[in-house]
Amino acid sequence: MEVVIVKDAKAGGELIADGIADLLRRKPDALLGVATGSTPLPIYDALIAQVSAGSVDASRARIAQLDEYVGLPSGHPESYRSTVLRQVVEPLGLSPEAFMGPDGSAEDVLAACEAYDRALSEAGGVDLQILGIGTDGHIGFNEPCSSLASRTRIKTLTEQTRVDNARFFDNDIEQVPHHVITQGIGTILEARHLVLLATGEGKAEAVAQTVEGPVAALVPASALQLHPHATVVVDEAAASKLKLADYFRHTFANKPAWQGI
């Protein structure tokens, strides 16, 4: 696992956007797995700036969603489909056809989960998956004790995650759905490169357990230890509980070891 400690969220976003730009130069129709939440926004800002400046062409990029709420009416502004369209697909100038995600308003949610898992494989698999991390160590919406071999499926959110996400729903936890569709941990591990960004002190414990703790379903993000190419980008605050922080600074601060993400 490559652990890159950066000054702040903006630096983390720029670094990962550089990695995505490199990927798009190598593979213009790369399938990018995108995450929602606050953390990845600096990545999208930096990538959109590079595209606007003409330093990278993203016109053939394809975008895949990581997870989705179940039961929000189609077109709800806080559905992850609407969020990804607004934050990534439209600003990059991509058409909605370049974008795939699970159908959280399907009548048969189980079939929708299976269909999305299959669609990801049929699309050739995700080339680079952006991940955030929950304060409880979740990736996607794989909450603690998710099977490390899980596929795309329906999950029930923990109270902690609903509290964390209430800020997107007028700070009213009652409006936060209880159920979600999420790519499983097994599904996520099939992406060719996993890039997790974590910023802020609130993520420090989850980051330490992910990077330095045992691989355990209790900390779903620790499954990244099983992936042959996982990059964890953290700001100083999120790195504050890493025992090996100095080693990581020494090893990964100067790009070459992890360049080419």
Give the relative orientation of helices 41-52 and 9-26 as an angle to the nearest 10 degrees: 50
Nearer to ligand PGA, 19 or 132 (CB): 132
Rounded least distance, CB 111 to ligand PGA, Å: 26
Number of DSSP helices (H) and strands (E) in the chain, helices first? 8, 10
Give residues in contact with ligand PGA (CB under 6 A).
37-39, 132-134
Is residue 258 within 8 A of residue 29, CB to CB? The reply is no
Query: Quick one: 39 exposed, middle or buried, by C-beta within 10 A (0-12, 13-18, 19+)?
Result: buried
Rounded least distance, CB 135 to ligand PGA, Å: 7
| Alpha-carbon distances of 181 from 55, 79, 116, 177, rounded to whole Å | 35, 11, 10, 11
Give the residue from 150, 157, 156 showing the smallest Cα distance to 134: 157
Rounded least distance, CB 7 to ligand PGA, Å: 18
Nearer to ligand PGA, 70 or 133 (CB): 133
Rounded least distance, CB 133 to ligand PGA, Å: 6
Half-sphere exposure of residue 156: CA atoms within 13 angstroms, side-chain side: 3
Which residue is listed with tokens 């806080």?
78
Nearer to ligand PGA, 4 or 133 (CB): 133
Active site residues: 67, 136, 138, 143
Nearer to ligand PGA, 50 or 142 (CB): 142
Closest residue to ligand PGA, judged by C-beta, is 37
